Structure 1
Amino acid sequence: MSQKKVMIAEDSSVIQNLTKKILQFQNFEIYSVKNGKELLDAVQNEHFDIILLDINMPVMDGIEAVTQLRQHADATKKSIPVIAITGNAANHSVAYLKSVGFTEYLQKPLNFDQLVELVKKYTQN
Protein backbone atom coordinates (compact mmCIF):
# COMPACT_ATOMS: atom_id res chain seq x y z
CA MET A 1 0.00 0.00 0.00
CA SER A 2 1.43 3.37 -0.96
CA GLN A 3 1.75 6.08 1.65
CA LYS A 4 -0.97 8.72 1.75
CA LYS A 5 0.31 12.23 1.08
CA VAL A 6 -0.43 14.89 3.66
CA MET A 7 0.27 18.58 3.00
CA ILE A 8 0.75 20.79 6.07
CA ALA A 9 0.37 24.52 5.40
CA GLU A 10 1.47 26.17 8.64
CA ASP A 11 3.72 29.18 9.27
CA SER A 12 4.78 28.03 12.76
CA SER A 13 7.86 25.81 12.45
CA VAL A 14 7.19 24.28 15.87
CA ILE A 15 3.64 23.18 15.01
CA GLN A 16 4.69 22.12 11.51
CA ASN A 17 7.55 19.93 12.80
CA LEU A 18 5.49 18.35 15.59
CA THR A 19 2.65 17.56 13.19
CA LYS A 20 5.12 16.11 10.67
CA LYS A 21 6.72 13.81 13.25
CA ILE A 22 3.39 12.52 14.54
CA LEU A 23 2.02 11.82 11.06
CA GLN A 24 5.29 10.28 9.80
CA PHE A 25 5.09 7.91 12.77
CA GLN A 26 1.65 6.92 11.44
CA ASN A 27 3.27 6.17 8.05
CA PHE A 28 2.04 9.21 6.11
CA GLU A 29 4.21 10.95 3.54
CA ILE A 30 4.47 14.58 4.64
CA TYR A 31 4.93 17.77 2.63
CA SER A 32 4.90 21.25 4.11
CA VAL A 33 4.68 24.90 3.14
CA LYS A 34 4.57 28.17 5.09
CA ASN A 35 1.67 30.02 3.43
CA GLY A 36 -1.37 29.71 1.18
CA LYS A 37 0.41 30.78 -2.00
CA GLU A 38 3.05 28.06 -1.56
CA LEU A 39 0.20 25.60 -0.92
CA LEU A 40 -1.59 26.45 -4.18
CA ASP A 41 1.72 26.22 -6.09
CA ALA A 42 2.39 22.77 -4.56
CA VAL A 43 -1.14 21.53 -5.38
CA GLN A 44 -0.51 22.39 -9.05
CA ASN A 45 2.46 20.02 -9.19
CA GLU A 46 1.58 17.23 -6.77
CA HIS A 47 -1.37 15.13 -5.62
CA PHE A 48 -2.23 15.27 -1.92
CA ASP A 49 -4.72 13.04 -0.13
CA ILE A 50 -5.44 15.65 2.54
CA ILE A 51 -4.39 19.19 3.45
CA LEU A 52 -3.96 20.58 6.97
CA LEU A 53 -4.34 24.33 6.58
CA ASP A 54 -3.62 27.01 9.16
CA ILE A 55 -5.98 29.96 8.86
CA ASN A 56 -3.63 32.76 9.98
CA MET A 57 -0.56 32.80 7.72
CA PRO A 58 1.45 35.48 5.91
CA VAL A 59 1.28 36.14 2.14
CA MET A 60 -2.04 34.27 1.70
CA ASP A 61 -4.17 33.07 4.61
CA GLY A 62 -6.00 29.77 4.84
CA ILE A 63 -9.43 31.23 4.01
CA GLU A 64 -8.18 32.67 0.70
CA ALA A 65 -6.20 29.50 -0.08
CA VAL A 66 -9.14 27.12 0.47
CA THR A 67 -11.44 29.45 -1.49
CA GLN A 68 -9.06 29.37 -4.47
CA LEU A 69 -8.51 25.61 -4.14
CA ARG A 70 -12.27 24.97 -4.28
CA GLN A 71 -12.39 26.90 -7.59
CA HIS A 72 -9.64 24.77 -9.18
CA ALA A 73 -10.34 23.52 -12.71
CA ASP A 74 -9.22 19.98 -11.80
CA ALA A 75 -12.09 18.18 -10.03
CA THR A 76 -9.71 15.90 -8.09
CA LYS A 77 -7.67 18.83 -6.76
CA LYS A 78 -10.67 20.93 -5.81
CA SER A 79 -12.19 18.07 -3.82
CA ILE A 80 -9.14 17.32 -1.61
CA PRO A 81 -10.25 17.20 2.05
CA VAL A 82 -8.95 20.31 3.86
CA ILE A 83 -8.76 20.52 7.66
CA ALA A 84 -8.75 24.07 9.08
CA ILE A 85 -6.32 24.65 11.93
CA THR A 86 -6.70 27.80 14.02
CA GLY A 87 -5.77 29.24 17.36
CA ASN A 88 -8.56 31.81 17.12
CA ALA A 89 -11.69 29.69 17.20
CA ALA A 90 -13.81 32.66 18.26
CA ASN A 91 -13.04 34.48 14.99
CA HIS A 92 -14.75 31.94 12.71
CA SER A 93 -17.72 29.66 13.27
CA VAL A 94 -17.54 26.06 12.10
CA ALA A 95 -20.46 26.84 9.75
CA TYR A 96 -18.46 29.70 8.19
CA LEU A 97 -15.33 27.56 7.79
CA LYS A 98 -17.36 24.84 6.06
CA SER A 99 -19.09 27.44 3.86
CA VAL A 100 -15.75 28.67 2.47
CA GLY A 101 -14.63 25.13 1.71
CA PHE A 102 -13.03 23.51 4.74
CA THR A 103 -13.97 19.87 5.33
CA GLU A 104 -13.28 19.83 9.08
CA TYR A 105 -11.78 22.03 11.75
CA LEU A 106 -9.21 21.59 14.54
CA GLN A 107 -8.36 24.11 17.23
CA LYS A 108 -4.88 24.92 18.53
CA PRO A 109 -3.32 23.73 20.69
CA LEU A 110 -3.71 20.63 18.57
CA ASN A 111 -5.03 17.43 20.07
CA PHE A 112 -2.75 15.05 18.17
CA ASP A 113 -4.96 11.98 18.74
CA GLN A 114 -7.84 13.88 17.15
CA LEU A 115 -5.57 15.06 14.33
CA VAL A 116 -4.44 11.51 13.51
CA GLU A 117 -8.04 10.27 13.70
CA LEU A 118 -9.22 12.95 11.22
CA VAL A 119 -6.34 12.39 8.81
CA LYS A 120 -6.99 8.63 8.83
CA LYS A 121 -10.74 9.18 8.38
CA TYR A 122 -10.25 11.26 5.23
CA THR A 123 -7.44 9.21 3.69
CA GLN A 124 -9.04 5.77 3.86
CA ASN A 125 -9.97 4.37 0.46
Structure 2
Amino acid sequence: MSKKIIVAEDSSVIQNLTKKILSQLNYEISSVKNGQQVLDLLGKNDFELVLLDIHMPIMDGMECAEKIRAMDGNNKDIPIIAITGNANNYTMDDFEAVGINAFIPKPLNYDSLVEMVKRYTDDN
Protein backbone atom coordinates (compact mmCIF):
# COMPACT_ATOMS: atom_id res chain seq x y z
CA MET A 1 0.00 0.00 0.00
CA SER A 2 1.38 3.40 -0.92
CA LYS A 3 2.14 5.93 1.77
CA LYS A 4 0.23 9.20 1.63
CA ILE A 5 2.12 12.47 1.69
CA ILE A 6 0.88 16.06 1.59
CA VAL A 7 3.04 18.43 -0.44
CA ALA A 8 2.21 22.00 0.61
CA GLU A 9 4.00 24.36 -1.75
CA ASP A 10 2.76 27.51 -3.49
CA SER A 11 5.27 27.14 -6.36
CA SER A 12 3.69 24.98 -9.07
CA VAL A 13 7.11 24.09 -10.46
CA ILE A 14 8.41 22.74 -7.14
CA GLN A 15 5.07 21.09 -6.39
CA ASN A 16 4.97 19.30 -9.76
CA LEU A 17 8.59 18.16 -9.60
CA THR A 18 8.20 16.90 -6.05
CA LYS A 19 4.98 15.10 -6.94
CA LYS A 20 6.56 13.49 -10.02
CA ILE A 21 9.64 12.25 -8.15
CA LEU A 22 7.76 10.93 -5.12
CA SER A 23 5.00 9.35 -7.24
CA GLN A 24 7.65 7.34 -9.08
CA LEU A 25 8.63 5.93 -5.68
CA ASN A 26 5.02 4.82 -5.11
CA TYR A 27 4.03 7.56 -2.69
CA GLU A 28 0.49 8.86 -3.00
CA ILE A 29 0.75 12.65 -3.18
CA SER A 30 -1.87 15.24 -2.31
CA SER A 31 -0.75 18.71 -3.40
CA VAL A 32 -1.98 21.93 -1.82
CA LYS A 33 -0.90 25.55 -2.02
CA ASN A 34 -1.40 26.84 1.54
CA GLY A 35 -1.51 25.83 5.18
CA GLN A 36 -5.28 25.99 5.48
CA GLN A 37 -5.63 23.35 2.76
CA VAL A 38 -3.19 21.13 4.71
CA LEU A 39 -5.41 21.35 7.78
CA ASP A 40 -8.50 20.62 5.68
CA LEU A 41 -6.89 17.45 4.26
CA LEU A 42 -5.63 16.29 7.65
CA GLY A 43 -9.12 16.74 9.05
CA LYS A 44 -10.49 14.23 6.53
CA ASN A 45 -7.73 11.63 6.05
CA ASP A 46 -4.69 10.08 7.64
CA PHE A 47 -1.31 10.77 6.05
CA GLU A 48 2.23 9.56 6.75
CA LEU A 49 4.10 12.85 6.16
CA VAL A 50 3.71 16.56 5.43
CA LEU A 51 6.21 18.42 3.24
CA LEU A 52 5.53 21.99 4.23
CA ASP A 53 6.74 25.14 2.51
CA ILE A 54 7.31 27.85 5.11
CA HIS A 55 6.31 30.82 2.93
CA MET A 56 2.78 30.31 1.59
CA PRO A 57 -0.27 32.53 1.23
CA ILE A 58 -3.25 32.40 3.64
CA MET A 59 -1.40 30.41 6.33
CA ASP A 60 2.37 29.95 6.39
CA GLY A 61 4.17 26.76 7.31
CA MET A 62 5.11 27.83 10.85
CA GLU A 63 1.50 28.58 11.81
CA CYS A 64 0.29 25.46 10.00
CA ALA A 65 2.75 23.24 11.91
CA GLU A 66 1.54 24.69 15.22
CA LYS A 67 -2.07 24.02 14.27
CA ILE A 68 -1.28 20.44 13.20
CA ARG A 69 0.34 19.77 16.59
CA ALA A 70 -2.78 21.15 18.31
CA MET A 71 -5.13 18.81 16.40
CA ASP A 72 -6.90 15.80 17.84
CA GLY A 73 -6.35 12.34 16.39
CA ASN A 74 -3.54 10.50 14.60
CA ASN A 75 -2.35 13.35 12.43
CA LYS A 76 -1.18 15.55 15.31
CA ASP A 77 1.97 13.42 15.54
CA ILE A 78 2.60 13.26 11.79
CA PRO A 79 6.20 13.98 10.75
CA ILE A 80 6.54 17.47 9.25
CA ILE A 81 9.45 18.39 6.98
CA ALA A 82 9.74 22.11 6.27
CA ILE A 83 10.87 23.35 2.88
CA THR A 84 12.27 26.85 2.96
CA GLY A 85 14.16 29.32 0.82
CA ASN A 86 14.95 31.34 3.94
CA ALA A 87 16.52 28.73 6.18
CA ASN A 88 18.89 31.41 7.46
CA ASN A 89 15.93 33.24 9.00
CA TYR A 90 15.16 30.27 11.25
CA THR A 91 17.06 27.96 13.54
CA MET A 92 16.25 24.30 14.14
CA ASP A 93 15.01 25.49 17.55
CA ASP A 94 12.47 27.74 15.80
CA PHE A 95 11.25 24.80 13.73
CA GLU A 96 11.15 22.43 16.72
CA ALA A 97 9.20 25.00 18.74
CA VAL A 98 6.27 24.69 16.30
CA GLY A 99 6.63 20.92 15.92
CA ILE A 100 8.60 20.65 12.67
CA ASN A 101 10.78 17.52 12.62
CA ALA A 102 13.32 18.54 9.97
CA PHE A 103 13.88 21.04 7.18
CA ILE A 104 15.27 21.10 3.67
CA PRO A 105 16.60 24.35 2.16
CA LYS A 106 15.69 25.60 -1.30
CA PRO A 107 16.81 25.17 -3.99
CA LEU A 108 15.70 21.64 -3.31
CA ASN A 109 18.17 18.82 -3.60
CA TYR A 110 15.82 16.03 -4.64
CA ASP A 111 18.22 13.27 -3.57
CA SER A 112 18.19 14.72 -0.05
CA LEU A 113 14.43 15.14 -0.18
CA VAL A 114 13.87 11.51 -1.18
CA GLU A 115 16.30 10.32 1.49
CA MET A 116 14.51 12.36 4.18
CA VAL A 117 11.03 11.28 3.02
CA LYS A 118 12.14 7.64 3.19
CA ARG A 119 13.63 8.16 6.65
CA TYR A 120 10.35 9.53 8.01
CA THR A 121 8.02 7.07 6.25
CA ASP A 122 9.85 3.73 6.35
CA ASP A 123 9.08 3.00 9.99
CA ASN A 124 5.35 3.66 9.72
For 1:88, the equivalent position in structure 2 comes to 86
Deviation at 1:97, TM superposition (A): 0.6
What SS does the corresponding residue of 2:108 show, helix, strand or coil?
coil
Residue 102 (str. 1) matches residue 100 (str. 2): yes
**TM-score, length-scaled by structure 1:** 0.96
- RMSD of aligned residue pairs (Cα, Å): 0.7
Instruction: Please give the per-residue CA displacement for 1:77-97, whole angstroms capped at 9, x wherever unaligned.
Output: 100000000001111111211
What are structure 1's unaligned runs of at least 5 residues? none
Residue 79 (str. 1) matches residue 77 (str. 2): yes
For 1:70, the equivalent position in structure 2 comes to 69
Moved more, 95-104 or 9-18: 95-104
For 2:58, the equivalent position in structure 1 comes to 59
For 1:11, the equivalent position in structure 2 comes to 10
Residue correspondences, number: 123
2-side partners of 1:47 and 1:114: how far apart? 25
2-side partners of 1:71 and 1:78: how far apart? 7
What SS does the corresponding residue of 1:64 show, helix, strand or coil?
helix
Percent sequence identity over aligned pairs: 52
Instruction: Give, as a single letter, the amino acid of the residue that structure 2 aligns with 1:101.
Output: G
What SS does the corresponding residue of 2:78 show, helix, strand or coil?
coil
2-side partners of 1:21 and 1:87: how far apart? 21
What are structure 2's unaligned runs of at least 5 residues? none
Instruction: Please give the per-residue CA displacement for 1:45-87, whole angstroms capped at 9, x wherever unaligned.
Output: 111100000000000000010000001121x110000000000
